Copies of this chain bind each other. A is one copy, B any other.
Amino acid sequence: MELSERKKRLLAAIVERYIATGEPVGSKTLVDALGLSVSSATIRNEMAELSALGYLEQPHTSAGRIPSDAGYRYYVDYLMGRYELPPNEKRLIDAKLEPAAGDARKVLENAGHILAEMTHCAAVSTTPADEAAVVRRVELVPIGVRTAMIVMLTSSGLLKSRICKTLSELTVDMAESFYNIVNANFIGKPAAAMTVAKIQTLAVSLGEKSLSMTPLLVALADVAAMTERTELLLEGQSNLLGYREYEQNAYELIEFLRRAEAMDRVFSEHPSSENGNLHVLIGEENLFRELQNSSMIFGKYAIAGHESGTLGLVGPTRIDYARLIPSLRYITEIVGKILSENVEE
């Protein structure tokens, strides 16, 4: 559907003005704002046509127009200026993320922070996970007489650790058994294979040693489970409270965003991507009722080439797409880059 140049110009102006002010835009305002040399009546005719095409709607007869979901969609796809993030904002982001480099979760927390701050939206993210990863290394670090730390590294560069208390004193013998079991059964295999069931059969085969080894093996299974289970991080929930559109129902939306299974479904329903690897879901384009008067932008970050997690923004449909998209794109890129640093080979 090709619109006339003037219609495009008007639609863009209406979207941008509505994004900025949050108030319906009238024909008169528009003429003034654009400095057009035609009368408001002409603009009214154009606006009526844009309404008929479904790009604009009216809250009520005597109000101005606001963009419909389709209107935003047209704006995002064809009209929006594609602009590059200014260097000082890039530096700000880098400075916030770099220092956390050692800790993946922290990197994502910081990314959420700065996204929320820059965009006044809620920022969601998932910690990295990679189901295809295999166990590359397991270490048992003695911490005390009966306490040890189990550290596990996967091929995708994820590092997880956990404290573990043993029933009896931790001996060199036990450590040796532990490494033997790990090397024989788990190294080079998927972390997912390290199930509690598997651990139990192993424990049985250990005979008398089993009793003392069990806590170590249980903890090991637990660490393995951690590499698969992603965590959902949510930042800037309170930003949503500032928008008129959420005056009544912020609660429902926020509760939805906090539910990990729900968000996982949202993210996985849209596996591939078009817009420079970001997804833009506007209003009713969202599959979940709770999101249908919001817009969501999200993308995957890649660790060493593998898509490992998601970063996203949620706000009212009236968000500044032109600004948010480049911001989010840059941050997903940098997050991927930083998290890839810890992966070797």
Contact = CB atoms under 8 A, between A and B. Distances in A.
A242 interface: yes
Contacts of A162: 102-103
A163 B342 contact: yes
Interface in A36-72: none
26 contacts: A101-B163, A102-B163, A102-B164, A102-B219, A103-B162, A137-B143, A137-B144, A139-B143, A141-B151, A143-B151, A143-B153, A144-B153, A144-B344, A145-B344, A149-B151, A149-B161, A159-B163, A165-B341, A237-B238, A237-B254, A238-B250, A238-B251, A238-B254, A241-B241, A241-B251, A242-B251
Given A102-B162, A165-B342, A258-B238, A141 B144 contact: no
Contacts of A209: none
Contact of A344 (B101, B103, B146, B251): B146
Interface string A302-345: 00000000000000000000000000000000000000011011
A7 to B, nearest CB: 39
B143 A141 contact: no
Interface in A135-157: 137, 139, 141, 143-147, 149, 151, 153
A2 interface: no
Interface residues of A, number: 35
A5 interface: no
Interface of A: 101-103, 137, 139, 141, 143-147, 149, 151, 153, 159, 161-165, 219, 222, 237-238, 241-242, 250-251, 254-255, 258, 341-342, 344-345
A178 B38 CA distance: 77
- How many chain copies? 2
Contacts of A147: 342, 344
Contacts of A153: 143-144
Contacts of A101: 163
**Residue from A161, A164, A241, A250 whose CB has the most chain B CB atoms within 10 Å:** A241
Nearest to A104: B163
Identify the 8 closest CB pairs spanning chains A and B, nearest first.
Answer: A102-B163, A144-B344, A241-B251, A238-B254, A102-B162, A139-B141, A143-B153, A238-B251
Given A147-B342, A163-B342, 7 more contacts: A102-B162, A103-B162, A141-B141, A141-B151, A144-B153, A237-B238, A238-B254
A258 B163 CA distance: 29
A333 to B, nearest CB: 20
Nearest to A146: B344
Nearest to A247: B247
Contacts of A149: 151, 159, 161
